[in-house]
Structure 1
């Protein structure tokens, strides 16, 4: 959190909101974005309506919309439908109240009330919408002249223009906007099971239950809040793991094969040594693939040999019968979904291996040459004992 330039008495400090830490550069980016957004909105509106128009070029609530769009772009209240739906619906309500209620004070109060209800119903809650409702009640002759057209120009036009500027500005400066929610990845096995990292700790349903009990609106989507909290969990895990790196836990003496090795010899190596994975490297030691027992099964065909035989038996029977024994490893090897470096934290590797559904990860140098292998067993031992210990062979 940014430190204040002055100290407040303890009795007053509790009233100061505790914002999340934001860098000075991000603060400046948001301010510059608002400057560009308001300026371009006003200029384009003047060009569209003409310099002599009696219609206001900017409605005051656009300033509040600019704060949300450029300073808090990830919140649900700042998304495109919130901007357009919230401002336009509030303007329509404000105009209606102005037409039917003579007392401006009562009209403005009722307009804000109805605007909030409408924005909740339409799922476009946008705080500046309340200001739009008051503005349309008190705007003066322009509203009387334009009637409901005032809700579309200038309110709707202003909202659309500043929204377009925000989309362009955020994407040009490397930020994601609109803040679409990422789709939940499908299970690797085609089942309804959640991803491995989602099966422990809290779930999205847990968070929604708590939010319902709190019964308050927060400007963070539950899905985004889950992402933030899980990232915090991973950071805590990284801290508790003592900064262990892949280089601390990896196996260093790895048995490999060439991509031109026959699959018969490769299977003999794996079977005789009890290996569950066999890295494939070229003449320079660069990892080009990973060979697993299932690669042999898929290559030779399931059901080879007697049905009563298990995988190993079917493979031996198929190879003994001369099926594909002269084929080379490069024809059946699998890809390398992820490779780590010696200085990759094991906390990162736990998450990546879980998401990729792999049990072994090659560790390579900057040139892609194999220097080690991290297995799930290595990770479990390291996390359980809190220290790294490389093994001679990959189990």
Structure 2
């Protein structure tokens, strides 16, 4: 009984590495220190109120320990803290009873944050501070919302953006790119496996509670789990058993016209690009010719748009060669990788061809979606034949 009670009280959360714990603590140290120092300068010269308020400590926990949370995004901290401060000041001005003013301030702040989609738990403490802060806060009136609340929030947020990105943790969370639209009614490949986005939306609607994870991140986690499960269940073949070994490859300095004619002559739609050591440095596909090359008198050339793209990326001046349109860096797969891993890469990243490389990045072969499909169908046929042979007649 006691063990069951302890398990209920102990949080059921994923383990965090020592490196991540140190990074979170160091970020909070830097963020609060910078916010306090800047606040001290502003408060000393402007006489605008406290240099630093306690709720910033709670905001620091979110910004540096769980920066991927929807509760820790810039809109949440800035709008949540500002709105809650305004609500708290209003409650303090109009309601004399401190307990009633505190309760109403918290209640209205939560309602406002949920309505404005800027829920930020430390903002509740800001609303309470506006009511219970005493004369030092009450004398500021609505200017309390600008300083120290908004001022502290902006400085702490700036520190979080700089620190998180410098330590390799993207913040704020970027919006995931929309899968390429092929102009058809078909869903992206990953959405044809298992549940649909609409299924997830319906479940979340039925759940009807705030979940501390972005909907896009939740879907990504579920889809990766589904693909990983599929990888465990599917196929025993590896890429080496299926890949094309007699690969037509080109060098970065191969002319566009020569590469194009190679593709046509061999009836292929992708050419790995290798250097003098046979190491894969890119891939040029039919799509690259369509999207990045211009055509003049039936010959591929480099148009104005592609020249501008190359100039913006800092590439060398184009000279009508493969390096001017190839995709680099290129996704590759090892010969010993299972076909199910290749399926995940094809489906999850929208690829059609995968160069197969050894550990030294030298080209060993190339794998296409059709290669994988044919192999898996053949593998399934062998399994069915074996099953039939074992059954009694």
Shift of 1:25: 1.3
Partner of 2:95: 101
Q: 1:186 to 1:380 in 2, by over 3 A?
A: closer
Distance in 2 (alpha carbons) for counterparts of 1:47 and 1:267: 67
Shift of 1:135: 1.0
Shift of 1:365: 4.0
User: Does 2:15 correspond to 1:21?
Assistant: yes
> Superposed, which structure 2 residues align to 1:337-348 within 5 Å?
338-348=331-341
Q: TM-score, normalised by structure 2?
A: 0.75
Distance in 2 (alpha carbons) for counterparts of 1:267 and 1:183: 30
Distance in 2 (alpha carbons) for counterparts of 1:293 and 1:207: 33
Shift of 1:294: 12
Shift of 1:237: 2.8
The structure with the largest alpha-carbon Rg is 1
Q: Runs of 5+ in structure 1 lacking a partner?
A: 1-6, 302-329, 389-395
Shift of 1:383: 4.1
Q: Of 116, 119, 123, which aligns to 2:110?
A: 116
Q: 1:347 to 1:49 in 2, by over 3 A?
A: farther
Q: 1:233 to 1:300 in 2, by over 3 A?
A: farther
> Superposed, which structure 2 residues align to 1:188-199 within 5 Å?
189-191=182-184, 193-199=186-192
Distance in 1 (alpha carbons) for counterparts of 2:46 and 2:288: 75
User: Does 2:158 correspond to 1:164?
Assistant: yes
List per-residue Cα deviations over 1:98-134 (Å, max 9, x = no partner). 1111100000000000001111121111111111111
Q: 1:300 to 1:362 in 2, by over 3 A?
A: farther
Partner of 1:204: 197
Distance in 2 (alpha carbons) for counterparts of 1:100 and 1:264: 77
Cα RMSD (Å): 3.9
Distance in 1 (alpha carbons) for counterparts of 2:81 and 2:248: 65
Say which structure is richer in helix: 2
Q: Of 216, 223, 242, which aligns to 2:216?
A: 223
User: Does 2:336 correspond to 1:362?
Assistant: no
Q: Of 45, 54, 57, which aligns to 1:60?
A: 54
Residues 263 and 270, structure 2, Cα contact 8 Å, conserved in 1: no
Distance in 1 (alpha carbons) for counterparts of 2:215 and 2:67: 15
Partner of 2:134: 140
User: Does 2:276 correspond to 1:251?
Assistant: no
Partner of 2:171: 177
Partner of 2:385: none
Shift of 1:46: 0.3
Partner of 2:306: none
Residues 270 and 286, structure 2, Cα contact 8 Å, conserved in 1: yes
Q: 1:387 to 1:98 in 2, by over 3 A?
A: farther
Distance in 2 (alpha carbons) for counterparts of 1:75 and 1:145: 35
Shift of 1:56: 2.2
List per-residue Cα deviations over 1:148-207 (Å, max 9, x = no partner). 0111111111111111111111001000101132131331x3446432222322222221
List per-residue Cα deviations over 1:329-363 (Å, max 9, x = no partner). x89x9856644332455444324334665544332
Aligned length: 351
Q: 1:8 to 1:250 in 2, by over 3 A?
A: farther
Q: Of 61, 71, 78, which aligns to 1:77?
A: 71
> Superposed, which structure 2 residues align to 1:293-312 within 5 Å?
none
Distance in 1 (alpha carbons) for counterparts of 2:278 and 2:228: 34
Q: Runs of 5+ in structure 2 lacking a partner?
A: 299-320, 383-393
Distance in 1 (alpha carbons) for counterparts of 2:48 and 2:243: 73
Distance in 2 (alpha carbons) for counterparts of 1:196 and 1:24: 37
Distance in 2 (alpha carbons) for counterparts of 1:52 and 1:269: 76
Distance in 2 (alpha carbons) for counterparts of 1:283 and 1:162: 51
- Larger displacement relative to structure 2 (131-140 or 379-388): 379-388
Shift of 1:39: 1.5
Distance in 2 (alpha carbons) for counterparts of 1:293 and 1:222: 32
- Larger displacement relative to structure 2 (90-99 or 51-60): 51-60
Q: 1:34 to 1:372 in 2, by over 3 A?
A: same
